[in-house]
């Protein structure tokens, strides 16, 4: 099938950007969004134009690098699937498709579809990076940033709540856990907006992280303010 692809072009974060129309682009229904971008770049190169810059990674849905927004939805229309695992089965010959970067203040554009995700790393660093990564990996989070892009407030509460929920078993003492959790919350307040409570984040999360993870942030804040009344969270139940 032949598609018309409107792809976002932007030279740098401080430069204005806009959609560039690429047509025709040869595609098949079983292609992924990233394979479509490969086809877009092949078309551009044949025309003598500069290829589109996008973040590429494992292409197996586990590294979190490749996220883009497809027709206004972070990652794409298939629920809980990374961009590299999104197929084109919903599109037909002659259709149009819009591809742009993930949109959030915490995810500034580097070039075209490529965004900077240092905000996620800065928050993770406050939990001591290897421990934070182990906590997120335990939960299945791939740190893709889709939850932030999906939230109208640019909140990272699903990401932060997931980290906090799986942090207790990895800390050596309750005091260490409290210290790390406090630093994570303070960093998150600097990087992300407040939770909208809409639940859009769970609709796009490739790991299918549950809405309940949002409450870990609330419980942690209550523990910080009223430690005698609200004991420290103990982490997920077995199997969570």
Residues recorded for the chain: 240
- Dihedral pair phi/psi, residue 68, rounded to 5°: -135, 170
Residues 208 and 149 in one domain: yes
pLDDT band of 231, cuts 50, 70, 90: confident
Residues 31 and 10 in one domain: yes
pLDDT band of 237, cuts 50, 70, 90: low
Is residue 237 domain-resident?
Answer: no
Residues 204 and 169 in one domain: yes
CA atoms of 114 and 58, how far apart (whole Å)? 15
Total number of domains in the chain = 2
Range of the domain at 107: 2-115
pTM: 0.89
| Region for residue 62 given its phi and psi (left: phi exceeds 0; alpha: psi -120 to 50; beta: otherwise) | alpha
Asked whether 69 and 101 are in contact (CB, 8 A), the reply is yes
Q: Is the dihedral of CA 216, 183, 13, 116 positive or negative?
A: negative
CA atoms of 178 and 139, how far apart (whole Å)? 20
CATH code for position 101: 3.10.20.30
Residue 100's pLDDT is what?
Answer: 98
Residues 109 and 78 in one domain: yes
Asked whether 75 and 204 are in contact (CB, 8 A), the reply is yes
Last-in-domain residue among 115, 135, 151: 115
- Dihedral pair phi/psi, residue 55, rounded to 5°: -80, 125
Q: What percent of the chain has pLDDT over 90?
A: 70
Residues 125 and 105 in one domain: no
Cα–Cα distance list, 165 to 29, 145, 187, 196 (Å) = 39, 18, 17, 20
Nearest alpha-carbon partner for 35 in 95, 89, 73? 89
pLDDT tens-digit map of 67-88: 999 999 999 999 999 999 999 9
Asked whether 90 and 36 are in contact (CB, 8 A), the reply is no
Last-in-domain residue among 86, 115, 144: 115
Last-in-domain residue among 62, 82, 115: 115
Is residue 97 domain-resident?
Answer: yes
Written as six digits, the tokens of 128 are: 């001591």
Residues 132 and 188 in one domain: yes
Residues 58 and 131 in one domain: no
């Amino acid at each position: 099938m032949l598609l018309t692809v409107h792809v976002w072009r932007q030279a740098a974060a401080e430069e204005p950007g806009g959609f560039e129309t690429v047509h025709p682009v040869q595609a098949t229904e079983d292609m992924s969004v990233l394979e479509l971008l490969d086809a877009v770049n092949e078309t551009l190169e044949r025309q003598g134009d500069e290829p589109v810059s996008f973040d590429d990674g494992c292409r197996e849905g586990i590294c979190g690098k490749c996220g883009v927004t497809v027709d206004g939805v972070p990652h794409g229309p298939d629920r809980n699937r990374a961009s590299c695992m999104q197929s084109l089965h919903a599109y037909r010959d002659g259709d149009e498709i819009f591809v742009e970067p993930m949109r959030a203040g915490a995810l500034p554009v580097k070039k075209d579809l490529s965004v900077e995700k240092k905000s996620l790393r800065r928050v993770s660093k406050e939990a001591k990076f290897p421990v934070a990564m182990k906590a997120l990996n335990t939960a299945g989070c791939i740190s893709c940033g889709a939850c932030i892009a999906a939230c109208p407030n640019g909140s990272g509460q699903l990401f932060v709540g997931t980290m906090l929920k799986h942090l207790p078993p990895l800390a050596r003492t309750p005091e260490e856990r409290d210290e790390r959790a406090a630093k994570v919350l303070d960093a998150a307040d600097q990087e992300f907006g407040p939770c909208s409570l809409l639940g859009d984040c769970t609709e796009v999360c490739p790991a299918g992280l549950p809405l309940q993870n949002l409450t870990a942030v609330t419980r942690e804040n209550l523990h910080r303010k009223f430690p005698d009344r609200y004991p420290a969270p103990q982490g997920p139940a077995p199997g969570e």
